[in-house]
Amino acid sequence: MTAGAYVFEYYLVNYRRTWRASALSTLVMPLLTMVGFGLGVGAYVTGGVAGVPYLDWIVPGLIASTAVQTAIGESLWPVFGNFEWLKVYFAQAAAPLRVADILGGHLAYMLFRIVVSAAVFLGVGVLFGAVGSWWAPLAVPVAALAGLAVAAPTVAYSATVGSESYLPILLRFAVLPMSLFSGVFFPVESLPVLLRWVAWLLPLWHGVELCRDAMLGRAPGLIGLWHAIYLLAWCVLGWRLAHSRFRRRLVI
């Protein structure tokens, strides 16, 4: 068992004590979103999108978006708090653990939380009859990849800022626009050309497209490979940035 696995186990032990607090929201939010957008808005979208019923079309985007939002939630205040309030990272560094172990263990826990939220959302989609392809379970690892692509650079951001007042800024000016303009609720082709390019640069759009391919049973082709490579690039770059920031703060 590697040292990073022990760090991951530490977070799992804590989660075992607190999972009830998040379990309700993990289940209720997909239900409310499915009813509000999938059924409510979908009732006015006659003919669906590209011949696909709106509920079936929107659920893959919601799974990817939920994964990204879970990733953001786990990589902002928890990371900042481990540096500034609880000093968990400093205690782990004194254990001693390598920076890669500390960072990797926490990212592994974030990935676990992302997978749980995506799997629950997929299950709710099945209950609503919005899943019609045997390839649909692949949406969970795809959503996990998209979530990790966002979590890693966000961890670097949280490890850099000196005040918690900077954390909501990321939510307002990065996460919210990304959720709205990444093809979750409507095709990006309906956006002006400039905003389309912005959407194409965002990691969430790539995750949405891959999730939609999986859940609709479409072959992603070479563009699917590009989506995966792009998300992996975000993961690698985010890891390098986060590792650099952790090392600067933890290694004396």
Dump pLDDT digits (tens) for 108-152: 999 999 999 999 999 989 988 888 889 999 999 999 999 999 999
Give the pLDDT mean for 168-192: 92
Tell me the average pLDDT across 194-211.
96
pLDDT of residue 99: 96
The long-range contacts involving 225-233, CB below 8 angstroms and separated by at least 24 positions, are: 228/145, 230/203, 230/206, 231/145, 231/146, 231/149, 231/203, 231/206, 231/207, 232/145, 232/149
Mean pLDDT of 208-213: 96
What per-residue confidence (pLDDT) applies to 46? 78
Torsion of CA 176, 178, 179, 181, to 10 degrees: 120
Question: pLDDT category, 240, cuts 50, 70, 90?
Answer: very high
Say which residue the tokens 């920031």 belong to.
245
CA distance 137 to 145: 14
The C-alpha atoms of residue 203 and residue 145 are separated, in whole angstroms, by: 10
Angle between helices 54-75 and 3-33 (to 10 degrees): 140
pTM of the model: 0.94
pLDDT of residue 241: 98
Looking up tokens 């000016």 gives 173
β-partners of residue 157 are none
Q: SS3 for 85?
A: coil
What is the predicted pLDDT for the residue at 87? 95
Would you state the torsion angle of the CA atoms of residues 136, 142, 143, 148, taken in this order, to the nearest 10 degrees?
Answer: 160
Given this model, what pLDDT does residue 1 score?
61
Q: String of b and e for 36-69 (b: at least 16 CB within 10 Å)?
A: ebbeeebeeeeeebeebbbbbbbbbbbbbbbbbb
* pLDDT in the model for residue 225: 96
* Position 252 pLDDT exceeds 70: no
Mean per-residue pLDDT over the chain, rounded: 92
Q: What number is the average pLDDT over the span 39-51?
A: 81
Banded pLDDT at 2 (limits 50, 70, 90): confident
**Token pair in block for residue 40:** 């409510």
Amino acid at 184: V
pLDDT at 187 over 80: yes
Q: Do residues 75 and 154 touch, judged by C-beta distance below 8 A?
A: yes
Angle between helices 54-75 and 99-127 (to 10 degrees): 150
Q: Is the CB of residue 161 less than 8 Å from the CB of residue 80?
A: yes
